A and B are shown apart, each in its own frame.
Chain A
Amino acid sequence: MVVGIVILVIVVVVALLVISIYNKLVTLRNRYKNAYSQIDVQLKRRYDLIPNLVETAKGYMKHERETLEAVIKARNQAATASEAAAKSPGDPQAMQGLMGAEGMLTGALGRLMVVVERYPDLKANENMSQLMEELTSTENKVSFARQAYNDAVTTYNTTRETFPNVMLAGPFGFTAAVLFEIEKEEEREAPKVQF
């Protein structure tokens, strides 16, 4: 009788432990997914700004068609990649796709800015300077949102990998989440962006 009760108590305690670990992992997973949505909001803003920027620049930079087109192309690819990532934040494939596309976009924008330097009229244009200011501001916000997301992902991954949680993570389907790091374009080959 006593043995029965002791066993029952142990079983109950273990069950409660398992439930509490599961709930904690679920909470942390939700947290990083929600943190991603902050990045998403800022990325969308960035993607919305770029066509305006290109339009304004077009009027002044009649012979720089290629540079401008490269920017638009990179922007479109990044927008698609970000939609895929928004559907499954933290998923390795989606995140890699996004990081690659964002890296390309940053590179293309950088090259555009270098070219803009050669057109003082364009630089002086009020609309242009406002857009560039907003773009910089948005990039700061993306960076900040990334930081928050990465913090959340790190907490989740750490919790997932420590003992005894690690034993439950697999069976319950908690996979590792991927950090969002901006890749330097020069360090990659022609990226294969998979969606």
Chain B
Amino acid sequence: MAAGGTSTMDFFAHQDAARRKTGLLILYYALAVVLIVVAIYLAYTAAFVGFKAKTGRPLQDLRQLWHPEVLLGVSVAVLGIVGLGTAYKIHELSGGGESVARMLGGRPVSPNTRDPDERKLLNVVEEMAIASGTPVPSVFLLDGEPGINAFAAGFAPSDAVIGVTRGCMEQLSRDELQGVIAHEFSHIFNGDMRLNIRLMGVLNGILIIGITGYWIFRSTLGSGSRSRSSKGKGNTMPIVLFGLVVMAVGYIGVLFGKLIKSAVSRQREFLADASSVQFTRNPGGLAGALKKIGGWTAGSRIQSRKAEHASHLFFSNGLASTFLNLMATHPPLGERIRRIDRGFDGQFASVPRAGAAEPGPGAAGVATGLAPSPPALPAQPRSYEVAPEEVMSRVGSPKPEHLAYAMQVVEALPNELLDAAREPFGARAVVYCLLLNAEQTARTAQLKRLSENADPAVLAETRKIQEQVTRLPEQLRLPLLDVAVPALKTLSDVQYGYFMENVDHLVRADEKIDLFEFALQRMIRRHLEPSFRKVNRGAAQYGSVKALLPESVQLLSALAYWGNSDLAAAQTAFSKGAKRLQATVLLRMSARENCTVGTVDAALSRLALGTPAVKKRVLDACVTCVGADGQVTSAEAELLRAVADSLDCPVPPFLPGQNV
């Protein structure tokens, strides 16, 4: 069914696997560099130093090839060039998904766009984000690309960016678009994105050798013919030949590059296809998209000159097929289609102009980009029955029920709030309202604080929608925040500064810190910060829970106190959760006074640096702790999701009416 034996792997296993692939990547890279050094050394020696021994007879003894100082020089030069190329590219891409998107010529799609095609695209992305429990990623449009293609880039789900070509947006139906976007979301959850960016950085160094060789070749060829007569001292032929060889050696680099890329990406494409079908339960959508690519004249080709650098990122092959495509980054179209549509007969779809043949309910909704009207949100239970294993297995693997639920959520959110959340001015007001305390005196204090610091127009807007936001059922609050994130990313730096200050004031206005408000604030900061400051996404540092025990204890204690008013109950909840950490030492709950915003914040920041396996254990413990009294209320469920977000683990919404 799914590719290989990966159907039993969960989100955490996938992330771990992706991390290990990075190791493989480094290995290939090192090998490539060594081979390049050797090849260039030989070329240099042949061209300039010569093989002649003292006896004048060439190549008698292999030891004549050994010129250590030359080897040193060549190694330094090659390592220097490759190193610089890699470092430069990594620096360029450190801006995350957005820098990749812009490199390929993408422009951001405005979250409050009124263009019907763009609106349809954004609605699809919104639904998928809500269904998976992640903030809506920024969407970039590759305007000048007629081919049908898409990509996802970034370092973590929180700075993920989805790019879509114009061809993709215009030619695909809503279902097919959903299939493609679901495929991209699976890349995000499987940890492919960070790996892909690293890949791009690393390969740039190797590719530069070829460019250098070409440059040497061209420049000396040009100057050689002019200066041959003037200097008289030696001809430039050796240099030209040297350049030629370096260029040829550079192709070793390109070859290795393709080898590396394909080793890393081919299987992952099948996996992403399978995940997409699992997510949408609609193989027809994805198959339809693939068939359209087969039948569309522009196919999935990307015209940008940077396509080679990023070819492994794309949904389908972005480069024209060449003879040397033995190491393609994507499996052949036919095979991909066959895996999800058994009855495929090899005939690709002929693609009429988009919109002309939109069948059924999709057509009516095209103008506003709405999905066919979903049934109303069922009445929410006050609490859910929760099995921690079930919750953990759902992380990063949303099911079709979640997607259907997400559509209902979008439908259930009042239009006024949705519109406000989708544009930067109103999105701030939405966030302020989400942070307003339920209790009247505290709320008055918060509003007063806000009136001193915020723009009067924002205040007016906040007052206008605060009633609606307060009346929102708990499970609609996080989705509303998810929707607001893209608009907030379009704030200017200065505006962002004021915004975060106000958020901070709101959270600290009442001296009693509410854990949920705090988690919201963390979520906002985590998702917005990369767009405004250079954030160093450190690699996972802690491989075992043992190293993070104090922080885990801190977090569990805070959760236990939050959910239980009396000490004994809190103690029980804590113990149950702590047991799941499988620590060898007895863990003691932290005192209530120690569970402050500062300590929990620090704890979460360090926990976020754990490996996926560690995070799984910690999250498991949290779910157990919160569910210790047998029931998880809506409020607790949302808190869990917010905490999980801090650990970069997207937990889909808790569904009513079934064992989650």
Identify the A interface with B (CB < 8 A).
9, 12, 16, 19-20, 23, 27, 30, 34-35, 37-38, 41-42, 44, 137, 140-141, 143-145, 147-149, 151-152, 155
Contact = CB atoms under 8 A, between A and B. Distances in A.
B102 A30 contact: yes
Contact of A38 (B84, B91, B424, B461): B424
Contacts of A37: 110
A9 B77 CA distance: 10
A23 B92 contact: yes
B457 interface: yes
A35 B492 contact: yes
Interface in B405-434: 423-426
A44 B84 CA distance: 47
Q: Which 8 A-B pairs have the closest CB atoms?
A: A151-B492, A148-B492, A140-B457, A144-B425, A141-B425, A151-B494, A37-B110, A34-B108
A12 B84 CA distance: 9
A151 B426 CA distance: 19
A140 B459 CA distance: 12
7 contacts: A23-B92, A34-B107, A41-B423, A147-B492, A147-B494, A151-B492, A151-B495
B401 interface: no
Interface of B: 80, 84, 88, 91-92, 99, 102, 107-108, 110, 112-114, 423-426, 457, 460-461, 490-495
Contacts, number: 59
B108 A145 contact: no
Nearest to B107: A34
A143 B80 CA distance: 50
Given A16-B88, A38-B424, A152-B492, A144 B102 contact: no
The secondary-structure label for the interface of chain B is helix
Contacts of B425: 140-141, 144-145
A150 to B, nearest CB: 8
A145 B427 CA distance: 13
B491 A148 contact: yes
Contacts of B107: 30, 34
Contacts of B108: 34
A41 B424 contact: no
Contacts of B423: 38, 41-42, 141
B490 A143 contact: no
Given A23-B92, A41-B110, A41-B114, A144 B457 contact: yes
Contacts of A151: 492-495
A141 B457 CA distance: 9
Contacts of A35: 490, 492
Given A41-B423, A144-B424, 9 more contacts: A16-B84, A41-B112, A42-B423, A44-B114, A140-B425, A141-B426, A145-B425, A148-B491, A148-B492
B497 to A, nearest CB: 10
A35 B493 CA distance: 12
A103 B110 CA distance: 26
B619 to A, nearest CB: 36
Contacts of A27: 99, 102
**Counting chain A CB atoms within 10 Å of each CB, which of B80, B91, B457, B495 scores highest?**
B457
A132 to B, nearest CB: 14
A140 B461 contact: yes
Contacts of B84: 12, 16
A147 B88 contact: no
Nearest to A13: B84
A44 B92 CA distance: 35
Contacts of B102: 27, 30
Contacts of B490: 34-35, 38, 148
A141 to B, nearest CB: 4
B457 A143 contact: yes
Nearest to A27: B102
A16 B86 CA distance: 12
Contacts of A38: 110, 423-424, 490
B266 to A, nearest CB: 31
Contacts of A23: 92
A34 B140 CA distance: 11
Contacts of B114: 41, 44
A155 B99 CA distance: 18
Contacts of B461: 137, 140
Contacts of B457: 140, 143-144
Contacts of B426: 141
Contacts of A16: 84, 88
A20 B107 CA distance: 20
A29 to B, nearest CB: 11
Nearest to A144: B425
Nearest to B88: A16
